[in-house]
Amino acid sequence: MSIIPERLLRTGTTDLLTRIGLVLAGVALIAVVGRLAVTTPDAAIILAVAVLAMGVTAVQPGLIPLAVLPLLLVVLRVGGGGVDLSLSDFALAAAAVPALLLARRPFSAGLRAVLWASAVYQFATLITVVNNPYTANAVEWAHAWMLVSGSLLVGWAVGANGHARTGLRLLIGTIAVLATITVVEGLIHIAHGDLSPVYPSFPYGMHKNFAGTVCAMGAVMVYARPAWAGINRRWSFVLMGMMLTAVLLTQSRQAVIGLVAAVFVLVLRSRTDRRRSKLVLLLVAPLVLFVTNLVQDQVQSGNQFNSVFQRLTWFQDSMTVWSSDPWFGVGLRWWYTDRFPFQFQPPNAEIEVLTSAGAVGLAAFVLLMVVALRVAWRMDPAYGSLAVAVLVSRIVQGQFDLFWSAVQGSLPFLVLGLCLGAKWCSEQRESSEARAPEPAGAPHPAGLLQTPGAAR
């Protein structure tokens, strides 16, 4: 009788057949590359890169998703012709394909639950895509699916293939680079007497809310600092200080509020290290005071065009747009069209979905968020606390801005998939060690329990 479970045999056979298919497809593409090398060199280069990617995927399924992780934080716009996408979106799509084809099976129950919730949301928003046919609507529908399901699969591929530590370090390292750029530019502005919010300009222009929210989520990751990430205390203090400084220099209030909410969640879930928790709470308390003073100053200024009063106006205009189709909405990214006299982006996640996909879409969106939070909360805190904190940070940030945007929308689900994959990989390793046969000549455990008299 085989000691290998039938489920694992089926999984191994499926992986083998998939890899054979990739090899055969690669051979076919090599022939095409040879044909195009003379007539169409550009197409030949693209196909050659595809062949290389397929070969790497066949050897190590998690390597391409791992290598692409830093690009998933690059918000540089490369779309055109009505397709407003970033480099992060294209990198995510490129990484999601090998992640889907050769993802470790079977998926964990938590991953399946979030994927099904994502499918429900996509089905609910498909109605508004059909009712409102225009390019940005269809593109954003596929974009939202990729931000959730694609990010989950990429994170799962990295974690389940045993690269969770390297993957999380790559994410934190990339965010640290962004934080360093923000701090350097902020110090230059301060040296010239400019105390306005910092909009990072190197190596391309970035909005202050993008830089602030991403650095805030990076600070959440550093503070969570799961044991399997292998980040020592000294480096965590350095990284945390750099990212918090970047958040303050951007003056992004949504980033500060999201960071504070995530830290409170981590403190509530922490059962040890109370001294560290109290210290961090003392550090984030001034952030709350900072945001409160900013809002109070804007309210007292009486300027009807500052961000506080402008958001109130946008809320009212959003309700006017929603009344056009309360059940199914007026279409995703409706503000890209000229169907309404209002040219603004809804400053709230729920209002964004409500105007775009109606009450039906909003119900599916709430379901997706609840399922994701529930899966992360019920996970072992060694893995789940990080996922919960990043999700909470993003949901709170989304109360003051768009939710479905590149990087900010994909990063929480990427981290959730990474944590689910890391936990699954750990369980598989423990299961394999438990099934491993005992070395020859090792005493049987029952023999160790015999008394000296029984042995004689």
Please state which of the ranges 81-90, 248-257, 312-321, 435-444 shows the lowest mean pLDDT.
435-444
- The domain of 138 spans 77-429
Closest Cα to residue 401, out of 307, 321, 309? 307
Q: Is 427 in contact with 433 (CB distance < 8 Å)? A: no
CA atoms within 13 A on the CB side of 101: 20
Write out the two tokens for 66: 């791992």
Quote helix, strand, coil % in the chain, to nearest 5. 75, 0, 25
Closest Cα to residue 382, out of 266, 284, 275? 266
Q: Do the domain assignments include residue 131? A: yes
Write out the two tokens for 106: 């079977």
Q: What integer pLDDT is reported at residue 402 of this predicted model?
A: 85
Q: What integer pLDDT is reported at residue 409 of this predicted model?
A: 93
Q: Is 126 in contact with 360 (CB distance < 8 Å)? A: no
Q: What integer pLDDT is reported at residue 214 of this predicted model?
A: 97
The pLDDT of residue 31 is above 60: no
Closest Cα to residue 170, out of 188, 158, 157? 158
Q: Per-residue confidence at 160, pLDDT binned at 50, 70, 90? A: very high
Give me the percent of the chain exceeding a pLDDT of 90: 48
Question: To 5 degrees, how large is the angle CA 273–CA 167–CA 400?
Answer: 70
Comparing 75 with 312, which gets the higher pLDDT? 75
Q: Do the domain assignments include residue 126? A: yes
Comparing 97 with 44, which gets the higher pLDDT? 97
| Alpha-carbon separation of residue 334 from 126, 274, 330, 340 (angstroms) | 14, 48, 7, 8
Q: Which is it for the CA torsion 123, 125, 130, 136, positive or negative?
A: negative
Write out the two tokens for 12: 């191994």
Main-chain phi, psi angles of 284, to 5 degrees: -85, -15
pLDDT, the chain, mean: 81
Write out the two tokens for 262: 């995530």
Write out the two tokens for 453: 């008299």
Q: How far apart are CA 67 and CA 50, in angstroms?
A: 15
Q: How far apart are CA 367 and CA 5, in angstroms?
A: 35
Mean pLDDT confidence for 314-333? 90
Write out the two tokens for 325: 């189709």
- pLDDT tens-digit profile of 204-215? 999 999 999 999
Q: Is 352 exposed, middle or buried (0-12, 13-18, 19+ CB in 10 A)?
A: buried
* Amino acid in the structure at residue 436: A
The pLDDT of residue 446 is above 50: no
| Alpha-carbon separation of residue 310 from 53, 177, 400 (angstroms) | 47, 33, 12
Write out the two tokens for 396: 């709170």
DSSP state of 77: B
Mean pLDDT confidence for 219-239? 91
Comparing 450 with 282, which gets the higher pLDDT? 282
Comparing 160 with 9, which gets the higher pLDDT? 160
Write out the two tokens for 252: 């992004």
What length is written for the chain?
456
Closest Cα to residue 125, out of 111, 137, 112, 113? 137
Please state which of the ranges 93-102, 226-235, 344-353 shows the lowest mean pLDDT.
93-102
Q: What integer pLDDT is reported at residue 186 of this predicted model?
A: 96
Residue with tokens 């390793």: 429
Q: Do the domain assignments include residue 98? A: yes
Closest Cα to residue 153, out of 405, 410, 406? 410
Comparing 84 with 10, which gets the higher pLDDT? 84
The pLDDT of residue 455 is above 50: no
Q: How far apart are CA 87 and CA 171, in angstroms?
A: 16
Determine the 3-state secondary structure of 230 from DSSP. Answer: coil
Q: Is 257 in contact with 290 (CB distance < 8 Å)? A: no
- pLDDT tens-digit profile of 174-208? 999 999 999 999 999 999 999 999 999 999 999 99
Q: How far apart are CA 211 and CA 229, in angstroms?
A: 23
Q: Do the domain assignments include residue 7? A: no
Q: Do the domain assignments include residue 134? A: yes
The predicted model scores a pTM of 0.83
Q: Do the domain assignments include residue 24? A: no
Q: Do the domain assignments include residue 46? A: no
Q: How far apart are CA 216 and CA 245, in angstroms?
A: 10
Q: What integer pLDDT is reported at residue 272 of this predicted model?
A: 54
Residue with tokens 């923000």: 182
Q: How far apart are CA 210 and CA 397, in angstroms?
A: 11
Mean pLDDT confidence for 358-373? 97
Q: What integer pLDDT is reported at residue 315 of this predicted model?
A: 82
- pLDDT tens-digit profile of 252-262? 989 988 998 89
Give me the percent of the chain exceeding a pLDDT of 70: 72
CA atoms within 13 A on the CB side of 229: 25
Count the domains in the chain: 1
Q: Per-residue confidence at 302, pLDDT binned at 50, 70, 90? A: low
The pLDDT of residue 52 is above 80: no
Q: How far apart are CA 405 and CA 352, in angstroms?
A: 11
Q: Do the domain assignments include residue 187? A: yes
* Amino acid in the structure at residue 358: G
Q: Per-residue confidence at 355, pLDDT binned at 50, 70, 90? A: very high
Q: How far apart are CA 222 and CA 238, in angstroms?
A: 10
